Amino acid sequence: MSAPTGNTYSNTETLVDTQKNKRAVTALQTFGRSLGLGLYSLFALFPLFWMVLISFKSDREMFNTLFIFTPTLENYEAVLLRTDYFMAFFQNLIVSGGAVLVTVVAGVPVAYALARYNFKHKEGVAFQILSFRFAPEIMVVVPIFLIFQNIGLLDTYLGLIWVYQLITMPLVIWVVRGYFEDISVEVEQAAQLDGYRWFEVFIKILIPLIKPGLVAACLLAFIFAWNSFTFPLVLTGFQVQTITVTSMRYIASDTVRFGQVAVAALVAITPQLIACLFIQKHLVRGLSFGAVKG
Amino acid sequence: MASMTKKTEKHPGGINYNEIPRSVRLRPYLIIAPGLLVLIGILIPFATAIFLSFTNFSFRMPTWEFVGLRNWIRAFQNPDFFHALSVTLRYAFFAVTTQMILGTLVAMMLRKDSPITRILKVALIFPLMVAPAIAVLIWQLMTSNSVGILEPILRAFGVYNFPWAAGHHTAMFTAVLIDTWVYTPFIMLLVLAGLQSLPKSPFEAAQVDGASPWFIFKTLTLPMLKPYLYIALLFRLMVALQEFGIIFALTRGGPGRTLMNLSMTGYEIGFRFQRLGESLPYLLTLWVIVNIAAQFLVKRQRKAAKEAQGY
C-alpha cells in the first residue's frame, strides 16, 4: 500500500454530496453497531443475571413470577448450610491452589531456562510441554486412573494436584517464558557484575520484574484448574469432591429445585469472576499461551 | 527480544563451548529437571494408553492378555465409532464456525473506545470464566419450560414446548449454543488484541482513497488479522473436538446417542462398561485428529504471520 500523493481534490463538486452520504452511512453504522452489541451483551450477560435472580426466588414464587417477587435467602441456606456443597467449594480451593503452588515452584524455573539458555532440543521440550495441555483429557485419564489405583493416589488431594499439573504447568511455563524474554539480558548481567549469584539474580531481580505477569498467569491457571471437570469426575469420589463434579447433582431431574441450582452455579463461578477482574490486562497473553502479546 | 539473547551470547570472537565450565553448561537441564519430572510422571500414561489399547484390560477381570489389533478392528467395525466421529466433527464445526464469526463481529463492534465499550470489554469476558459443566446449569435455568425465560418469549412467537436438549434435532443446537455462550469471548479477546496491533497508516491511506469499509476489511483488516484468527481457531478447535463437560452435563450423550462424540463414547465404554482396552481406540483416534488439526493450523498460522508482516 503506497501513500496517496495528493490528487484527491480532483472531484471537489461531489465532495459535499459524499460527505452527506458519509454522515448517513456513519449514523447507520453506529446504530447497527449498538444494536449488535446490545443483542450480544444480552445473550452473554442475561443468563448470569437470570441465575442471580432465580437464586433469590422462593419455591412458592418460582413458577408464577418472572421479575417481580419477594427475595429470600432460603436457597442459599439450603445449599450452603444444609449440604456439603461448601465443603466441595473448599476442597476445590485446596486442590486448585495446591496445583498452582506446585506449578510455580517447579514450572517458573523451567520457563526461565527456556527463555534464557540455549540448549539442545530446547524447542522440542517446549512444544512437548505445550502438547500435554491439548491431549484429550479423557484419554489421558484412563491410564492415570489405573496407575493411581495401583499407587493409592485415587481420590486423594495429592493425586488430583499432580494431574492438574497437566493443566496449569504448560500454561504457566509458556506465558512466563514470554515475560522472561521481555526482560533484557543486560539487566541480569548488570546484577551479576554487582556480585549477585545466578539464583540471587533470579529471585531478587527477575521475579520482582515479572511479578504482575506471573500473578496473572497463576490466577488464570487457577481458573483452569478450578473449572476442570474430566479429571475430578474420574479420579475422585468420596474423599475429595470438587465443585464442578458436585454441582452435577443439581442437574436435571423431575424434582429439580431451581433456586438451589442457581445458588450452586453462582457459588461455583464466583471465584473465577473475581479473579478475572484482576487479570484483564494479561488475559489475552495468558489465554493464548503467550502466542499473542496483547 | 529473543534475538537479543542470541546476540549477547555470540560475542566477538565467538564462544568456545568447551571453555564453559561443566556446571554452567548443565545448569539449564538442572533448572528444568523438577518441572520435567512432574510432567514425565504424567507422560507415562500416554505410553500406557497405547499399550493398553492392544489388551483386553477391564476392571471386571483380574487378569488381562494381549489381543493384538482386536480392539481396533472392533472399533472400526462398530457403527457407533463412525457416529461418534461424525458427532465430534459436526460439533466442532458448528461451534467453532459460529464462534469465529460472532467473536470477530463483536470484537469489530467493540473497537471504538467509549465508556460503554470499556465496561463491555470486561463484562463480556465473564462467560469464558465459567466452567462448561456449570454453564449447562446456568442455561438450564434459561431453557427450562417451567422457570426459563426463553419459554414465554418463544411462546410469544408461537413456538410451544421447544424441546432444547431433550429433542433429537435440537440437542446439538442446544449444546452448540452453550458452547458458543462460553467460548465466543475467547475469539473476541484475541481478535481485539489483533485489531489493537494493526498499524494505522494503511487504513488512513485507504480511507483517503475512498475505499469502502467492506473493501478495507477484505483487503487490509482480514489479512493482517489472520495470524490472530489462526491462533484463536487453533486453540478453539483443539478444545471443541474434545468437548466433554458440556455434553456430559447436558444429556450424557443423549437423547439416544445423538450427542455421543468420541470423548463421550470412550468414557462410556471405558468407565460405564468398564472395558478400558476397548475404549482406547476411540480416544486415541481423537488424539490423532486433534494433533493433525493442530499441526495443520500451526503451519498456516506461521505462513499467515509472514504474509501479514509483508504489508
Domain ranges of chain A: 6-46, 74-293
- The whole-chain average pLDDT of chain B stands at 84
Mutation pick from A138, A165, A251 vs chain B, by most beta carbons of B within 10 Å, is A138
Instruction: Mark yes or no for CB contact A258/B147 under 8 Å.
Output: yes
What is the average pLDDT across A58-62? 80
Question: Residue A278: is its pLDDT beyond 90?
Answer: no
Q: What's the gap in Å between the CA of A78 and the closest CA on chain B?
A: 17
CB A281: neighbour CB atoms within 10 A?
A: 11
ipTM here: 0.84
Residue of A nearest to B146 (CA): A63
pLDDT band (50, 70, 90) for residue B18: low
Kindly report, residue by residue over B218-231, the tens digit of the pLDDT: 888 888 888 889 98
What is the average pLDDT across A159-171? 90
C-alpha cell at B274: 468398564
Of the candidate CATH numbers 3.30.565.10, 1.10.3720.10, 3.20.20.70, 3.30.420.40, the domain formed by A74-293 belongs to 1.10.3720.10
Predicted structure pTM score: 0.86
Of A208, A227, A274, A213, which is closest to residue A99 (Cα–Cα)? A227
Q: What's the gap in Å between the CA of B17 and the closest CA on chain A?
A: 11
pLDDT at A226: 92
Kindly report, residue by residue over A72-96, the tens digit of the pLDDT: 888 898 888 888 888 889 999 999 9
pLDDT band (50, 70, 90) for residue B15: low
Q: How far is it, in rounded angstroms, from Cα A144 to Cα A173?
A: 23
C-alpha cell at B48: 500406557
Contact map slice: A 216-245 vs B, CB within 8 A: 223, 226-230, 233-234, 244-245
C-alpha cell at B284: 486415541
pLDDT at B101: 95
**Are the CB atoms for A232 and A214 separated by under 8 Å?**
no
What is the average pLDDT across A111-133? 80
Give the C-alpha distances (Å, rounded to integers) separating A226 from A6, A86, A98, A213. Answer: 58, 14, 11, 20
pLDDT at B9: 45
Q: What's the gap in Å between the CA of B176 and the closest CA on chain A?
A: 14
- The whole-chain average pLDDT of chain A stands at 84
Give the C-alpha distances (Å, rounded to integers) separating B113 from B196, B206, B229. Answer: 11, 21, 22
pLDDT at B102: 96
Kindly report, residue by residue over B21-71, the tens digit of the pLDDT: 777 777 777 777 777 776 676 667 778 888 888 888 887 777 778 888 888
Pick the residue with more confidence: A245 or B179?
Answer: B179
Of A29, A281, A85, A67, which is closest to residue B217 (Cα–Cα)? A29
Question: Residue B288: is its pLDDT beyond 50?
Answer: yes
pLDDT band (50, 70, 90) for residue B134: very high
What is the average pLDDT across A273-294? 83
Instruction: Mark yes or no for CB contact B141/A47 under 8 Å.
Output: yes
What is the average pLDDT across B267-289? 89
- How many CA atoms, within 13 angstroms, populate the side-chain half-sphere of residue A136? 30
pLDDT at B278: 87
In chain B, what is the greatest distance between 2 CA atoms, to the nearest angstrom? 82
Kindly report, residue by residue over A231-265, the tens digit of the pLDDT: 999 888 878 888 888 888 887 555 678 888 899 99
Contact map slice: A 98-137 vs B, CB within 8 A: 102, 105-107, 109-110, 112-119, 125, 129, 131-132, 134-137
Q: How far apart, in Å, do the first and last CA atoms of chain A sit?
A: 25
pLDDT at B294: 86
Helix, strand or coil, per DSSP, at residue A133: helix
